[in-house]
A = this chain, B = another copy of it.
Amino acid sequence: MKSKTMLALAAVTLTAGAAWAPLAAAKPPVANFAVTEAEVLAAQKAWGDALVQISKDFESGGRAKATATASAVLDAAYGYKHGPVLFKPTLTVAPQTFRHTQEGALAYFVGGNKAFPKDDGFALKGWRAVEVANDAIILEGDVAMTQGNVTLTNAKGEKTTVDKTWVYRKDDEGKLRIVVHHSSLPFSPK
Protein backbone atom coordinates (compact mmCIF):
# COMPACT_ATOMS: atom_id res chain seq x y z
CA MET A 1 0.00 0.00 0.00
CA LYS A 2 1.33 3.33 -0.99
CA SER A 3 0.62 5.35 2.10
CA LYS A 4 2.57 2.80 4.10
CA THR A 5 5.53 3.40 1.82
CA MET A 6 5.23 7.07 2.44
CA LEU A 7 5.14 6.68 6.20
CA ALA A 8 8.13 4.38 6.01
CA LEU A 9 9.92 7.02 4.07
CA ALA A 10 8.99 9.57 6.62
CA ALA A 11 10.34 7.37 9.36
CA VAL A 12 13.57 6.78 7.54
CA THR A 13 14.00 10.45 6.95
CA LEU A 14 13.19 11.22 10.51
CA THR A 15 15.82 8.80 11.69
CA ALA A 16 18.35 10.28 9.35
CA GLY A 17 17.26 13.67 10.52
CA ALA A 18 18.00 12.78 14.10
CA ALA A 19 21.63 12.36 13.20
CA TRP A 20 22.21 15.89 12.09
CA ALA A 21 21.45 19.31 13.36
CA PRO A 22 18.61 21.20 11.77
CA LEU A 23 19.41 24.34 9.90
CA ALA A 24 20.47 27.03 12.30
CA ALA A 25 17.84 29.59 13.12
CA ALA A 26 20.14 32.26 11.69
CA LYS A 27 18.52 34.43 9.06
CA PRO A 28 19.38 33.13 5.59
CA PRO A 29 21.30 35.48 3.31
CA VAL A 30 19.03 37.42 0.98
CA ALA A 31 20.42 38.79 -2.26
CA ASN A 32 18.21 41.54 -3.61
CA PHE A 33 18.84 42.61 -7.19
CA ALA A 34 15.71 44.77 -7.35
CA VAL A 35 15.90 48.54 -7.38
CA THR A 36 14.41 50.31 -4.39
CA GLU A 37 12.79 53.72 -4.32
CA ALA A 38 15.57 54.97 -2.05
CA GLU A 39 18.18 53.92 -4.58
CA VAL A 40 16.31 55.76 -7.32
CA LEU A 41 16.11 58.95 -5.30
CA ALA A 42 19.81 58.71 -4.46
CA ALA A 43 20.68 58.24 -8.13
CA GLN A 44 18.64 61.30 -9.07
CA LYS A 45 20.38 63.36 -6.42
CA ALA A 46 23.77 62.11 -7.59
CA TRP A 47 22.95 63.17 -11.15
CA GLY A 48 22.17 66.68 -9.98
CA ASP A 49 25.27 66.87 -7.82
CA ALA A 50 27.39 65.71 -10.75
CA LEU A 51 25.96 68.39 -13.04
CA VAL A 52 26.80 71.08 -10.52
CA GLN A 53 30.27 69.61 -10.07
CA ILE A 54 30.97 69.75 -13.80
CA SER A 55 29.95 73.41 -13.85
CA LYS A 56 32.23 74.21 -10.96
CA ASP A 57 35.12 72.24 -12.43
CA PHE A 58 34.68 74.19 -15.64
CA GLU A 59 34.94 77.41 -13.73
CA SER A 60 38.00 76.35 -11.76
CA GLY A 61 39.80 74.29 -14.38
CA GLY A 62 38.35 75.01 -17.80
CA ARG A 63 36.93 72.59 -20.31
CA ALA A 64 39.70 70.04 -19.78
CA LYS A 65 38.83 69.62 -16.12
CA ALA A 66 35.10 69.63 -16.83
CA THR A 67 35.56 67.02 -19.53
CA ALA A 68 37.46 64.71 -17.20
CA THR A 69 34.74 65.03 -14.60
CA ALA A 70 31.93 64.56 -17.12
CA SER A 71 33.58 61.52 -18.61
CA ALA A 72 33.87 59.96 -15.17
CA VAL A 73 30.24 60.81 -14.45
CA LEU A 74 29.08 59.20 -17.67
CA ASP A 75 31.12 56.09 -16.90
CA ALA A 76 29.67 55.86 -13.42
CA ALA A 77 26.06 56.89 -13.88
CA TYR A 78 25.07 55.75 -17.38
CA GLY A 79 24.97 52.34 -18.98
CA TYR A 80 27.11 53.06 -22.05
CA LYS A 81 29.57 50.31 -21.15
CA HIS A 82 26.86 47.68 -21.49
CA GLY A 83 25.18 48.89 -24.68
CA PRO A 84 23.45 51.87 -26.24
CA VAL A 85 21.74 54.35 -23.93
CA LEU A 86 18.51 55.96 -25.09
CA PHE A 87 19.44 59.59 -24.42
CA LYS A 88 17.46 62.56 -25.75
CA PRO A 89 19.07 65.61 -24.11
CA THR A 90 17.10 68.81 -23.61
CA LEU A 91 18.78 70.99 -26.21
CA THR A 92 20.01 68.78 -29.02
CA VAL A 93 18.72 69.18 -32.57
CA ALA A 94 18.39 66.88 -35.55
CA PRO A 95 20.13 65.07 -37.03
CA GLN A 96 22.01 64.62 -33.76
CA THR A 97 19.03 64.67 -31.41
CA PHE A 98 19.69 61.27 -29.86
CA ARG A 99 22.94 60.32 -28.21
CA HIS A 100 23.11 56.59 -27.84
CA THR A 101 26.92 56.59 -27.64
CA GLN A 102 29.02 57.89 -24.79
CA GLU A 103 30.88 60.19 -27.16
CA GLY A 104 27.63 61.89 -28.08
CA ALA A 105 26.60 62.27 -24.47
CA LEU A 106 29.97 63.72 -23.48
CA ALA A 107 29.82 66.20 -26.36
CA TYR A 108 26.42 67.35 -25.15
CA PHE A 109 27.59 67.92 -21.59
CA VAL A 110 30.91 69.66 -22.26
CA GLY A 111 31.06 70.52 -25.97
CA GLY A 112 34.38 70.83 -27.77
CA ASN A 113 33.81 67.88 -30.12
CA LYS A 114 33.88 68.83 -33.80
CA ALA A 115 31.76 65.80 -34.62
CA PHE A 116 28.94 67.47 -32.68
CA PRO A 117 29.28 71.08 -33.86
CA LYS A 118 26.10 72.41 -32.28
CA ASP A 119 27.03 71.28 -28.76
CA ASP A 120 28.41 74.04 -26.60
CA GLY A 121 28.33 72.19 -23.29
CA PHE A 122 25.10 71.99 -21.38
CA ALA A 123 26.90 71.20 -18.14
CA LEU A 124 29.09 74.29 -18.36
CA LYS A 125 26.26 76.81 -17.82
CA GLY A 126 27.06 77.68 -14.23
CA TRP A 127 24.64 75.28 -12.61
CA ARG A 128 24.39 75.60 -8.87
CA ALA A 129 21.39 73.49 -7.82
CA VAL A 130 19.22 70.70 -9.20
CA GLU A 131 15.84 69.77 -7.81
CA VAL A 132 13.83 66.73 -8.85
CA ALA A 133 10.04 66.51 -8.48
CA ASN A 134 8.89 63.07 -9.54
CA ASP A 135 5.38 62.67 -10.87
CA ALA A 136 5.39 58.87 -10.59
CA ILE A 137 7.85 56.02 -10.23
CA ILE A 138 7.73 52.42 -11.44
CA LEU A 139 9.99 49.83 -9.84
CA GLU A 140 10.14 46.90 -12.22
CA GLY A 141 12.67 44.50 -10.79
CA ASP A 142 16.20 45.44 -11.77
CA VAL A 143 14.77 48.35 -13.77
CA ALA A 144 13.26 51.53 -12.33
CA MET A 145 11.52 54.32 -14.19
CA THR A 146 10.79 57.88 -13.14
CA GLN A 147 9.06 60.84 -14.74
CA GLY A 148 8.60 64.38 -13.55
CA ASN A 149 10.19 67.80 -13.47
CA VAL A 150 13.80 68.70 -12.90
CA THR A 151 14.56 72.31 -12.05
CA LEU A 152 18.06 73.65 -12.58
CA THR A 153 19.28 76.86 -10.97
CA ASN A 154 22.30 78.72 -12.33
CA ALA A 155 24.74 81.05 -10.62
CA LYS A 156 22.47 84.04 -11.30
CA GLY A 157 19.58 82.31 -9.60
CA GLU A 158 17.75 81.74 -12.88
CA LYS A 159 15.76 78.55 -13.05
CA THR A 160 15.06 76.20 -15.92
CA THR A 161 12.47 73.48 -15.50
CA VAL A 162 12.47 70.49 -17.82
CA ASP A 163 10.24 67.44 -18.24
CA LYS A 164 12.37 64.40 -17.57
CA THR A 165 12.10 60.64 -17.89
CA TRP A 166 14.78 58.36 -16.56
CA VAL A 167 15.04 54.59 -16.64
CA TYR A 168 17.68 52.99 -14.48
CA ARG A 169 19.05 49.47 -14.59
CA LYS A 170 20.82 47.94 -11.62
CA ASP A 171 24.11 46.44 -12.69
CA ASP A 172 25.91 43.38 -11.33
CA GLU A 173 27.67 45.47 -8.71
CA GLY A 174 24.35 46.80 -7.49
CA LYS A 175 24.85 50.25 -8.98
CA LEU A 176 22.05 52.04 -10.84
CA ARG A 177 22.84 53.02 -14.40
CA ILE A 178 20.78 55.34 -16.58
CA VAL A 179 19.68 53.45 -19.71
CA VAL A 180 16.94 55.86 -20.82
CA HIS A 181 17.04 59.65 -20.44
CA HIS A 182 14.52 61.85 -22.22
CA SER A 183 14.58 65.52 -21.33
CA SER A 184 12.51 68.26 -22.95
CA LEU A 185 11.54 71.86 -22.38
CA PRO A 186 7.91 72.28 -21.41
CA PHE A 187 5.55 72.74 -24.34
CA SER A 188 4.66 76.39 -24.84
CA PRO A 189 1.33 76.94 -26.61
CA LYS A 190 1.54 79.74 -29.13
Interface residue ranges, A against B (CB under 8 Å): 2-3, 5-14, 16-17, 20-23, 28-35, 37, 81-88, 90-95, 97-98, 100, 118, 120, 122, 124-125, 133-143, 145-149, 151-152, 154, 156, 158-163, 165, 167, 169, 171-173, 179-180, 182, 184-190
Contact = CB atoms under 8 A, between A and B. Distances in A.
Contact of A8 (B7, B93, B184, B190): B190
Task: Specify the main secondary structure of chain A where it touches its partner.
Answer: mixed
A22 to B, nearest CB: 7
Contact of A190 (B5, B171, B190): B5
Given A14-B159, A87-B147, 6 more contacts: A3-B124, A6-B125, A21-B94, A93-B189, A100-B136, A145-B179
Nearest to A118: B189
Nearest to A135: B98
A154 B31 contact: no
A156 B162 CA distance: 32
